[in-house]
Amino acid sequence: MLQKIGKRTKTILGTLLFVPIIGSFLIWGISDMVKAVGVSRYAATVGNTTISTQEFSNAYRRQLDGMRRQGMKIDADMARQLGIGQQILRNLIERQLLLQAAHDYGIVVGDQTVAAEIQKEKSFYDDNGKFSRDKFKNLLANAGVGEQEFVSGLRGDMSIRLLLNALQASAQPPANLPRALYTLQKSIYAADVYTLPHDAMGVARAPTEAELKTFYDAHKDHYQRPEMRRGVVAVLSLKDWGENAKPSDQDLKNIYEAHKAEFTIPEERSVQFVALPDEAKAHQVAEAARGGIKLADAAAKINGAPVALKTMEDVKPGTLPADLDKTIFKLPRGETSEPVNTALGWYVMQITNIRPSATVPMARIKDKLIESWRQDRSSEDLPKLLNKIDDGIAGGSSLEEIAKTYHLQLRQLPLADQQGHGLDAATLTDKNTKEILAAEFKQNQGEVGNVFETSGGDYALLRVDEVKPTAVPPLAAIHDQIVTDWKKFNQRQLAEDAARKLANDWRKGGNVADEAKKIGATMAARNDLSRDQAQKTQKPATGIDRAILQADGAGTVVTAADANNEYVAKIRAIAPPPAASVTDAVLGDMRNTTSQWVKNDYTQLFLNALEKRYSVEINDKTVKQVENSSN
């Protein structure tokens, strides 16, 4: 999260993805707007700020769309398993925490500073290398972001940047740390390693029954079999329940009328304007234009040089700074405005076209209205249905009767433990299995439990038909396994003792080659072991490799073990990186890396403290709804 914030606040174009999309209700944007009707209205609250369902849904969908554009085949189930929704919401929460902290610490970014930042962004430059308002406007339009929304988001990003810069100013590692870490990372270790397999240690005799009994008693926990349960579950699939329902024309009309304002396209105006460097010239240009001179000609005459006549097409109310917005939407078509002071100069404007506001016809958004009706029905009728099911349970109805009456999916749960051992692959991968198993192991045998919601967004209830309690099989039932385990255990004990003696003799400077051969240990030389190599291969280091890399110096003897072998190693040499490789550039990179580590730690501690200061509440139901609807 910390690196993401840093990246997002370094470039303005990052803001196009970072700012929540909460405006621009165009015809082609109505799908998201309608889908929010009837759904929980917030995803999370952070102090006195609400992260809306729409804001979270848009961010979540943008993330999935981006991953799909990169070739990933990702659906709602995979996204949920990867925790993408939780991470997106976490990012939004952390941004709000930082914004509130910046506000409380009095960090204010003025209009002039924001304007200067926008004009520095080369993505908004024209072919002449100058800021182009037309290009700026087109880029925002392509991203579906209004100007006012963009400026507000950028202002927030800049305040976060100021806050984090102040926080991280003192987050610097000790001066000698980069060199020490680089040396440690690049040093190459050479060692001789003996490997002693456990099964190389022969066990000369068979165990007595008394020894087996002693071993069995000492390791009963290892042989304990978990509780197993068998039952029946009935599932109410919200997807099937919703898709099977059909609204009447009157139902759709009621939703349309209730939310008509949301389906209204606001008035749009097209504007032509010139920007003058000072107020006096702007007033003169306005007067000349009112006298019948074309706006561009008036500007060139008064300014003494040509002034570009620029346009803003399809401007909507509330998308420009307040003074511009007020002037544009009060100005009659064809008339010339009074000069308006902006961050980019004094604007003199004329309205070239007015498109009145209009309401999207009901027929064009019928599918969205049906989806909205289903969601409303889910929030209104579903609780009633669940109450009826609970009443049926309380009244003594069987699970089969309830499933038949309310059209629930009925399926058998085979004998399995709480982790699902015993279930078939299809059941194990079902999105509802985790909650079903948890409920099954909380109920008493023979009872029908209450309805519960699953992480997959469905509802379920079940009955436990059989319980096999936790038990340790008698020795006679697993006698052969106990014999095998006793031999392996003793082989390991013998191998540990032999490896320990080998290590002690080696530490004393003895020649251990004959001793190693006698016990069945083989030696291999390691000449290129380094932390840098381990990081590049991205493979987990073995226990003996970790022991070698932690050795104090040449001549050190270290030991390690895994499930099948004992290891004894002696360090022959530790070669630091060549002095010529430790350049200022290398140390600079390491210094930047260690500095970023410290900054990340500072920022994470700060976020932890902010979360305690501002109460954070997550609406899990909303998160599930958004995740389930994002196929």
CA distance 567 to 23: 65
Q: What is the DSSP letter of 277?
A: S
pLDDT value of residue 9? 35
Residues of the chain under the 50 pLDDT cut: 1-40
CA distance 19 to 42: 17
CA distance 621 to 615: 19
- Over residues 72-122, the pLDDT tens digits come to 778 777 888 788 889 999 999 999 999 999 999 999 898 889 899 999 888
pLDDT value of residue 26? 26
Locus of tokens 């100021």: 162
Environment class of 270 (CB within 10 Å of its CB; exposed 0-12, middle 13-18, buried 19+): middle
316 alpha-carbon distance from chain centroid: 33
pLDDT value of residue 23? 30
pLDDT value of residue 420? 84
pLDDT value of residue 466? 94
Query: Closest Cα to residue 63, out of 44, 80, 41?
Result: 80
pLDDT value of residue 144? 66
pLDDT value of residue 458? 83
Query: Closest Cα to residue 107, out of 158, 168, 167?
Result: 158
CA distance 10 to 22: 23
Q: What is the mean pLDDT of the chain?
A: 84
pLDDT value of residue 378? 59
pLDDT value of residue 40? 47
CA distance 342 to 321: 8
Say what the pTM is: 0.51
- Over residues 284-317, the pLDDT tens digits come to 999 999 999 999 999 998 888 888 898 888 888 8
- Dihedral sign of CA atoms 394, 387, 626, 147 in order: negative
Q: Is the distance from CB of 182 to CB of 125 less than 8 angstroms? A: no
Cα separation of the two ends of the chain:
25
556 alpha-carbon distance from chain centroid: 45
pLDDT value of residue 630? 60
